[in-house]
């Protein structure tokens, strides 16, 4: 399925990558100064919205790892977001409030689910893969809808946020924001390392030419499944943070619309760039906020933008910027 990729080819990669890291660092710096600016503007609620954006940025980046670098269009990634949110709800109801333990729970469940469903989905390719991941995502969605102990369809309000080593510092919105930002930066560094590693190169190689990689002696299935599981685990971490931001969990976090939105974020920023996924999450969510403030029929406009973007600027916002010369990622 090399037709999915529009990312730059391997040869001119290194400078483009350095450029992307630079842009990511600028983004992180902007994120870091946002809370004081928000307070100065007298709008501390902005920090809460920004926390949500950062959490989604983590999820979008995780999806980009397999979508952009592995050409696996997973349409069920919201399920892992959901596992993360429900890990917080379920574990805290049993008295396990520690953020790291909840993350551990989310990762274990997500890894198991991704391993089984990924192994089945990866036996197929192309259209089948998209539809099967979507179906498995829905399966998880229906499971949580019928889980009446945790509110079923209506969702479940959290009595408090997670604790870190017994301290309730996350109750402060500002702390939660910086912890989320910390995870985003750490996970970006991890993803960046993965992409640049031998493993990442094999993954990209399979994307470019599956048969050749197989002939050279790299079994695609094993590499793709590993990437799929890693991506699922990172996405579930985003879910844990998101539950803390919203202090509420519900199956809505894992509906197929959410999976679609994650793909939209990745594509908005240009696939296979990691940095683009972060920028895409920011743009997509801000666009939603802005259109939502404009009219309550915002999905109509959002959908229209999506259709027009696919028809006229297939390389996302990066592509638009490149065309106008503001961004030269391909150099």
Partner 1 sequence: MTNLLVLQLLNGVQLGIILFLIAAGLTLVFGIMDVVNLAHGVLYMAGAYLMATFAAATGSFWWALLLVLPGAVVVGLLLEVVVIRRLYDRSHLDQVLATFGLVMMANETVKIIWGTSPLSVPMPDIFSGSVPLMGPLQYPVYRIAIIVAGLAVAGGLYLLVNHTRIGMLLRAGATNRAMVSALGVDIGKLFAIVFTLGAVLACFAGAIVAPILSVDTGMGESVLILTFVVVVIGGIGSIKGAFLGAVLVAVVDTLGGVFGPILLRSVLDASAAGQAGRTLAPMLVYILMAAILFAKPTGLFGGRG
Query: Which residues of the chain form contacts with partner 1 (CB under 8 A)?
Result: 1, 3-4, 6, 67, 73, 75, 117, 120, 123-128, 130-132, 134-136, 138-139, 142-143, 145-148, 256, 260, 263-264, 267, 271, 297, 299-300, 302-307, 309-311, 314
CB atoms inside a 10 Å sphere around CB 188: 22
155 vs 260, which CB is nearer to partner 1? Answer: 260
- DSSP reduced 3-state for 244: helix
Strand pairing class (248-249; 156-157): antiparallel
Classify 329 as helix, strand or coil.
coil
Q: For residue 157, what are the β-bridge partners?
A: 248
Q: How far is the CB of 291 from partner 1 (least distance, A)?
A: 11
The least CB distance from residue 289 to partner 1, in Å, is: 16
Tokens representing 321 are 């910027």
Q: Which is nearer to partner 1, 31 or 253 (by Cβ)? A: 253
Query: Residue 242: how many CB atoms within 10 A of its CB?
Result: 25
- Could you tell me where the DSSP H helices lie in 71-126? 78-93, 99-121
- Closest approach, Cβ 213 to partner 1, in A, equals 17
Nearer to partner 1, 298 or 327 (CB): 298
CB of 149 to partner 1, least distance (A): 8
Token pair for 81: 């977001």
Q: Which is nearer to partner 1, 201 or 210 (CB)?
A: 210
**Residue nearer to partner 1 on the CB measure, 9 or 123:** 123
**Contact (Cβ atoms closer than 8 angstroms) between residue 79 and residue 141:** yes
Q: Whole-angstrom Cα distance, residue 299 to residue 296?
A: 8
The nearest distance, CB 297 to partner 1, in angstroms, is: 5
């Amino acid at each position: 399925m090399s037709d999915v990729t529009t990312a730059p080819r391997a040869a001119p990669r290194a400078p483009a990558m350095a450029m992307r890291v630079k842009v990511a660092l600028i983004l992180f710096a902007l994120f870091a100064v946002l809370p004081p600016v928000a307070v100065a503007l007298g709008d501390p609620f902005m920090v809460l919205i920004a926390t949500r954006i950062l959490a989604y940025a983590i999820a979008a980046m995780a999806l980009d790892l397999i979508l952009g670098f592995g050409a696996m269009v997973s349409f069920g990634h919201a399920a892992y977001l959901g596992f993360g949110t429900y890990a917080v709800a379920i574990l805290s109801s049993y008295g396990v409030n520690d953020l790291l333990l909840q993350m551990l729970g989310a990762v274990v469940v997500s890894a198991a689910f991704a391993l089984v469903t990924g192994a089945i989905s990866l036996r197929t390719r192309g259209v089948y893969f998209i539809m099967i991941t979507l179906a498995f995502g829905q399966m998880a969605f229906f499971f949580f809808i019928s889980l009446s102990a945790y509110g079923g369809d209506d969702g479940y309000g959290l009595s408090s946020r997670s604790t870190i080593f017994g301290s309730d510092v996350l109750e402060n919105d500002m702390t939660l924001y910086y912890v989320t930002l910390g995870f985003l930066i750490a996970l970006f560094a991890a993803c960046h390392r993965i992409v640049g590693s031998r493993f990442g190169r094999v993954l990209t190689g399979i994307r470019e030419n599956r048969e050749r990689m197989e002939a050279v002696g790299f079994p695609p299935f094993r590499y793709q499944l590993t990437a799929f599981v890693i991506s699922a685990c990172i996405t579930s971490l985003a879910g844990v943070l998101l539950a803390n931001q919203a202090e509420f969990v519900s199956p809505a976090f894992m509906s197929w619309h959410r999976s679609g939105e994650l793909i939209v974020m990745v594509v908005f920023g240009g696939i296979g760039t990691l940095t683009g996924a972060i920028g895409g999450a920011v743009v997509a969510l801000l666009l939603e906020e802005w259109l939502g403030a404009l009219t309550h029929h915002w999905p109509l406009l959002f959908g229209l933008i999506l259709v027009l973007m696919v028809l006229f600027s297939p390389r996302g916002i990066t592509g638009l910027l490149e065309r106008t010369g503001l961004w030269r990622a391909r150099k």
